[in-house]
C-alpha cells in the first residue's frame, strides 16, 4: 500500500494518457442530468468530482452509493458506472436499471461483469489497469470521470492543465507531504479522529475517513461546515481528550466559514486540545483536492504502521461479500 501511495503521481499521469485516448460515442439526446454510480474506492471519485464540477456544471450531478437509481434517470441522463473490479453488486444493479431506462451509459472499470455487459450491450467502456485495491486506484477513476464530463460538455477542458499541475505539485511537495503526514499521524495515533471540512471539500473528508478506516483499521467520523454548526457542535458537550480533530483549511474559503471555524475551535478546545489544521496547497480546486488526497493517504499509511496493522487486508469486507454470495 505504501508503494501504491508513493506511485500516485505516476498513476495520475497514466490515467491522463488513458483519458486522452478514450473515444466515446455522442449522446443521441441532450443531457439534462448526470448520475454516477459507485461505492467505496470506486465511488469516492464520483463524490469528489461532483463537488469539483458543482460551480461549473449546467446540469445537476448526483452520486449514488446503493442498489438503486433515482426516478429522474431517463434517456436524457448520462449515467456513469464506476466499479474498479467490475463486480460490485450494487453498481451492477444500477447498471441494469439504467439500461432499462435507456440512459446514456459510460462504464469505468478494470474488467469483470461491468466490462462484459458493456461489451455485449455496446456501451461506452473505459478500461483502467486492474489488480490493486480499489482505494489505491482513485487516480484512475477520478481522472476518467473528469474526461467523461468534459466529453459531454458538462465541464470545460480546463481541468486537463489543472490535473497536470496537480501531479507536479505533489511531486514537488513530496518530502513536505511525507513529513507533515508522519507528524499528524503521530498526533492522532491512539485517539479517535473527527474530520471537518467546508462544503465543497466534503468528498476529501470522506476519502480521508475511508482511508483511515481501511488502511489503519480505525473508526473515525467526519462532518461538514457549516452543517455541523446546526447539530454536531452541540454534541461536543460529550467530547474528550481521546478525540483528535482534523480540519481541512483553504486560504480561499468563504469568509463566513472562516469565522465559523474560529468559533468552532473555541468551543472544541474546551474538551480536547488535539486540534490539527491541514492547509491546502495549489491554485485550482483540482490541485487542492489532489494535494489533500495524497496527504491524507500518507497519514493513513503512517497510522497503519504505528498501529502495527496490515494496510492492505480487508478480511471483514471479503467475509461480508462471501456471506452475501450465499444468499
Condensed to tens digits (0 to 9), the pLDDT of residues 290-299 reads: 999 999 999 9
Do residues 208 and 300 make contact, with C-beta atoms less than 8 angstroms apart?
yes
Do residues 159 and 150 make contact, with C-beta atoms less than 8 angstroms apart?
yes
Condensed to tens digits (0 to 9), the pLDDT of residues 6-42 reads: 999 999 999 999 999 999 999 999 999 999 999 999 9
How much is the pTM? 0.96
C-alpha cell at 91: 453498481
Determine the number of helices (DSSP H) and then strands (DSSP E) in the chain: 13, 9
Active site residues: 214, 230, 321
Tell me which residue has cell 466559514.
257
Condensed to tens digits (0 to 9), the pLDDT of residues 183-227 reads: 999 999 999 999 999 999 999 999 999 999 999 999 999 999 999
Distance CA 78, CA 49 (A): 15
Domains and CATH numbers, the chain: 2-157 (3.40.50.10490), 165-307 (3.40.50.10490)
C-alpha cell at 68: 438503486
Torsions phi, psi for 26 (to 5 deg): -70, 155
Distance CA 215, CA 211 (A): 5
Q: Which residues contact 281 (CB under 8 A, 6 or more apart)?
A: 169, 173, 287, 288, 291
- Among residues 63, 11, 2, the alpha carbon closest in space to that of 33 is found at 63
Instruction: Say how many CA atoms lie within 13 Å of 172 toward its Cβ.
Output: 11
Q: Which residues contact 27 (CB under 8 A, 6 or more apart)?
A: 78, 104, 152
| HEC sequence for 35-98 | EEECCHHHHHHHHHHHHHHCCCCCCEEEEECCCCCCCCCCCCEEEEEEECCCCCHHHHHHHHHH
Q: DSSP letter string over 207-218? A: HHHHHHHHHH--
- Alpha-carbon torsion angle 23, 55, 80, 282, nearest 10: 70
- Higher per-residue pLDDT: 318 or 9: 9
Average pLDDT over residues 305-320: 91
Average pLDDT over residues 246-261: 97
Condensed to tens digits (0 to 9), the pLDDT of residues 41-100 reads: 999 999 999 999 998 999 999 999 999 999 999 999 999 999 999 999 999 999 999 999
Amino acid at each position: 500500500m505504501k508503494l501504491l501511495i508513493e506511485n500516485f503521481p505516476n498513476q495520475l499521469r497514466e490515467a491522463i494518457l488513458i483519458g486522452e485516448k478514450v473515444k466515446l460515442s455522442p449522446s443521441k439526446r441532450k443531457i439534462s442530468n448526470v448520475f454516477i454510480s459507485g461505492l467505496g474506492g470506486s465511488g469516492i471519485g464520483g463524490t469528489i468530482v461532483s463537488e469539483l464540477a458543482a460551480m461549473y456544471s449546467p446540469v445537476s450531478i448526483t452520486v449514488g452509493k446503493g442498489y438503486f437509481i433515482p426516478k429522474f434517470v431517463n434517456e436524457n441522463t448520462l449515467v456513469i458506472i464506476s466499479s474498479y473490479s467490475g463486480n460490485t453488486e450494487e453498481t451492477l444493479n444500477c447498471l441494469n436499471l439504467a439500461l432499462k431506462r435507456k440512459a446514456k451509459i459510460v462504464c469505468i472499470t478494470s474488467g469483470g461483469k461491468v466490462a462484459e455487459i458493456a461489451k455485449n450491450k455496446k456501451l461506452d467502456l473505459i478500461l483502467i489497469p486492474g489488480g490493486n485495491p480499489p482505494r489505491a486506484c482513485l487516480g484512475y477513476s477520478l481522472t476518467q470521470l473528469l474526461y467523461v464530463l468534459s466529453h459531454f460538455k458538462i465541464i470545460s477542458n480546463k481541468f486537463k492543465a489543472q490535473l497536470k499541475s496537480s501531479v507536479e505539485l505533489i511531486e514537488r511537495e513530496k518530502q513536505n507531504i511525507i513529513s507533515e503526514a508522519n507528524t499528524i499521524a503521530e498526533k492522532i495515533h491512539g485517539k479517535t479522529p473527527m474530520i471537518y471540512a467546508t462544503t465543497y471539500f466534503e468528498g476529501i473528508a470522506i476519502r480521508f475517513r475511508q482511508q483511515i478506516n481501511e488502511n489503519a483499521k480505525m473508526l473515525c467520523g467526519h462532518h461538514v461546515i457549516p452543517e455541523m454548526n446546526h447539530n454536531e457542535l452541540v454534541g461536543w458537550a460529550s467530547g474528550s481528550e481521546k478525540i483528535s480533530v482534523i480540519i481541512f483549511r483553504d486560504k480561499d474559503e468563504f469568509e463566513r466559514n472562516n469565522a465559523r471555524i474560529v468559533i468552532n475551535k473555541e468551543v472544541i478546545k474546551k474538551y480536547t486540545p488535539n486540534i490539527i489544521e491541514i492547509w491546502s496547497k495549489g491554485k485550482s480546486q483540482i490541485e487542492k483536492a489532489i494535494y489533500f488526497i495524497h496527504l491524507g493517504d500518507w497519514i493513513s499509511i503512517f497510522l497503519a504502521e504505528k498501529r502495527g496493522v496490515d494496510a492492505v487486508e480487508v478480511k471483514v469486507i471479503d467475509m461480508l461479500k462471501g456471506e452475501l454470495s450465499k444468499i
